[in-house]
A = this chain, B = another copy of it.
Amino acid sequence: MEKEKVDKKDHILDVAERVFAEQGYDGASTRMISGEAGVNMAMLNYYFGSKEGVFLAIFDRRISNFQSVLMSIGNDDSINSWEKLDKYLDSYIDKVVTNNCFHIMLNREISKAKKSDLTDQITDIMMKNVNVFLNIIAEGIRKGDFNKDADQQLLVATIFGTKNYIINTPHISSKVLGYDVLDVDVQNDLLKPRFKKYMKTLLKAYLQNENDNNK
């Protein structure tokens, strides 16, 4: 049955995504993944060709929808720069917190200092989200909504870096924040609203025209 086959492949990807996040790409063996998924090891190669094929299949499942949502916010001409920033942050934070396993996996592999085909692919994917954000900031500065002295590029490092810190180093961030950032209920009830409010306040303080603390 076509439906069950898709479900099974999806189940394997679910498990693989989690195991990759837990152990890293190299640390996760195909035996581990197939074992936890309850399927024969050969099924991974049957469905996805190879271990790397599994990894890339996880990508395909996550990225396309996510990116189109962010881009539509960036291209929305009916709202001003501040509202774009708000909507971008809301969508982005919701998505990355919910799909935390995927983003842990993603960032672990891109944080290899050595270039490879895989790091290049991941870089291209991530740069699309970055560029949407950069365009929002640049537009806001051009229109006079945001402080023209703002360091746009390092602002990218702050928004994505702050998110990475919370999601990708959960042992530390959970200790700092005082609750388990990987717990779904905690994420929805506490983490997401707090993170959104903080990020907006922080960007507002830095980007607003009234502050001239740069001299």
Write the residues of chain A forming the contact surface with B, with a CB cutoff of 8 angstroms: 18, 21-27, 101, 104, 107-108, 110-115, 119-120, 123, 126-127, 130, 134, 151, 153-154, 156-158, 160-166, 168-173, 175-178, 182, 194-195, 198, 201-202, 204-206, 208, 211, 213-214
Which residues of chain B come closer than 8 Å to A153, judged between CB atoms?
176-178
Q: Report the separation of the CA atoms of residues A211 and B210 in the bound assembly, to the nearest whole angstrom.
A: 10
Contact B171 A157 (CB under 8 A): no
Contacts A/B (CB < 8 Å), 28 sampled: A21-B113, A22-B113, A23-B112, A26-B26, A101-B113, A107-B111, A110-B171, A110-B172, A111-B111, A111-B168, A111-B169, A113-B182, A119-B171, A123-B172, A123-B175, A127-B175, A130-B176, A151-B201, A156-B165, A157-B162, A157-B173, A161-B163, A161-B164, A162-B162, A202-B206, A205-B206, A205-B211, A206-B206
Question: In the complex, which residue of chain B has the Cβ closest to the Cβ of A208?
Answer: B213
Instruction: Count copies of this chain in the complex.
Output: 2
Question: In the complex, which residue of chain B has the Cβ closest to the Cβ of A26?
Answer: B26
| Min CB–CB distance A97 → chain B (angstroms) | 13
Contact of A202 (CB < 8 Å), options: B104, B158, B195: B158
Which residues of chain B come closer than 8 Å to A202, judged between CB atoms?
158, 202, 206
Contact B201 A206 (CB under 8 A): yes
